[in-house]
Amino acid sequence: MQTDSSFTFVLFGGTGDLSMRKILPALFEAHRAGGMLADSGKIVAVARHAADRSEYIQWVNEHVKPHVSKNGVDETAWAGFLNRIEFVNIDLGKAEDFVHLRDAIQDLPGIRVFYLATGPSLFVPICHALASVGLNENARIVLEKPLGYDLKSSNAINDAVGEIFAEEQIYRIDHYLGKEPVQNLLALRFGNALFEPLWRREWVESIQITIAEELGVEARGDFYDNTGALRDMVQNHLLQLLSIVAMEPPHSMDSDSVRDEKLRVLRALKPIDPRDIGKVAVRGQYHSGVIRGTAVPAYATESGVRPDSTTETFVALKVEIENWRWAGVPFFLRTGKRLADRVAEIVVNFRAVPHSALGASALRAGANRLVIRLQPNETIRLYCLAKQPGEGMNLASVHLDLAFDQFFREGQMEAYQRLLLDVINGRLALFVRRDEQEAAWRWVEPILNEWKVSNKPPKPYASGTWGPAASSAMLAQHGTCWLEEEN
């Protein structure tokens, strides 16, 4: 993925946590790889927590450097990366300060990218301030989630930003779409004749998508208590992954072809009747427990969380898609904090053979399944049945394993690195279009509204477990269970 596209990458929130852990390390890796970033490309950090460039570079050395290059830092590459960085100290709440930003970047080359690694309350003011000094013309803007609290607030932000930037200038980022296994899911489905005939209701019994975290809310208690797992994870990450799993083959991989097919899936999601939400949606909240031998507190005692909070930290859903390919196939989505393991994976459970000529052991061994793991180790694993050595026809589950770090010797690209390069090079396919976002909010809102009206407390679960028992019971009603394996 080489480029000679010159660019000026303006990073709002340049001293924030996201910039420190993800954005600047990703840009460094692209710089270190050579050829991915044009030599003339510049990074302009915007923040108030540094007085000048030298102070900001000191902050980068202290806080960003520990997050780059797992195998150590190439000091020559690091020095070259620092030479790319400029710094502008402005108050994002003062539109008049943006004159200083305009003056600082007006002579810098290439396409302008504005990355808003800030709270969503600043999105619209920053866009208006950019427009007031003419910086919105021929530029690209990257918006981090959350983009709104509900459909109404999301539309308000999109309307305001859309008055200043055209849709093709707006890059709504979802970093899960940049992960290597998600890219390989597209390759697996649309590059191989083996899987596409099986990727439908006749052969698939159910699909699970899990994003589980061991961490709690950490220092984000104030934010999380007003958000919850459904808004934070389901409305964006999980529904985006579902749309990629279930989409029809696009006629090409250009941005609108891919996003058109994802939109069709989101619009085909079966609406949930408020009377059925208790049957198809489980919400939970973690209590105290033990994670990897360490005692951890309950959510209600976390800093910034209301003691009587009813915010969910766990959600499990049964989802159906009303189209010919997937009619009758349940999709089970699950996400939560303080769970038993950190894992993100997609599990495709295939139907059992219609008649077992091999006896009871074939039934006990189970059916085929495909497991696409996104984290912590990125793999694709296909489970098949094979005969155990010895007398008799006794079957056991075995697997074919594609471990990317072993098969491909060159280093894998991190999600943010891929997505930032796509922004610089003008590739929109892996970014969320406005109509996709609206369709996701429209499907999620009845659940949010019913939970608000009913005011029922979330089901408790001990930290270090896999969530409320009701989550497993929901799958048991369909004759299946969550796949819970050791890493």
Tell me the catalytic residues: 237
Sheet holding 369-375, edge to edge: 395-403, 379-387, 369-375, 343-350, 204-212, 331-336, 314-319, 281-287, 459-462
Question: Are residues 165 and 127 in contact, defined by beta-carbon separation less than 8 angstroms?
Answer: yes
How many beta carbons lie within 10 A of that of residue 415, not counting itself? 23
Angle CA 442–443–445, to nearest 5: 65
Rounded Cα distance between 327 and 269, Å, is: 10
Distance from C-alpha of 345 to C-alpha of 333, rounded to nearest angstrom: 10
Give the Å distances, CA to CA, from 250 to 8, 136, 247, 261, 381: 32, 32, 8, 6, 25
Q: Which of 319, 315, 318, 317 is nearest to 339 (CA)?
A: 315
In terms of DSSP bridges, do strands 369-375 and 379-387 run parallel, antiparallel, or are they unpaired? antiparallel
> In a 10 Å sphere around its CB, with 0-12 CB exposed, 13-18 middle and 19+ buried, how is residue 461 labelled?
buried
**Distance separating alpha carbons of residues 428 and 64, to the nearest angstrom:** 27
- Total Cβ atoms within 10 A of residue 168: 12
